[in-house]
Amino acid sequence: MKHDEVRIKLLEDPETRAEYEKLRPRYEAISLLMSARKEQNITQKELAERIGTQKSNISRFENGSCNPSLDFLVKVAHGLGKELHIELR
């Protein structure tokens, strides 16, 4: 079974879908900032040095094992030459 097929099957469950939707903003932020870092060919270590943190903090952020603060997200975005915008829909 392919990843997309598994995801679709899992999301049929209302509780799983609710948790997925709850975590969606975090994973969207991770994906966007990770893509920007990779597009610029910047390592996690280089990004960490730019924003004054440890590589392990960037790694934990990118693998989703921490709940980043808004300040951290802003620092990462600025370290990539980007601005962070939040939108309510």
Instruction: Give this prediction's pTM.
Output: 0.81
Contacts of 55 (CB under 8 A, 6+ apart): 44, 45, 48
For position 20, what pLDDT does the model report? Answer: 87
Q: Which fold has domain 3-79?
A: 434 Repressor (Amino-terminal Domain) (1.10.260)
Average pLDDT over all residues of the chain: 93
Spatial distance between the Cα atoms of 45 and 17, rounded to a whole number of angstroms: 35
pLDDT band at 7 (very low <50, low <70, confident <90, very high): confident
Domain range summary for the chain, segments of one domain joined by + = 3-79
pLDDT one-digit tens code per residue, 36-73? 999 999 999 999 999 999 999 999 999 999 999 999 99
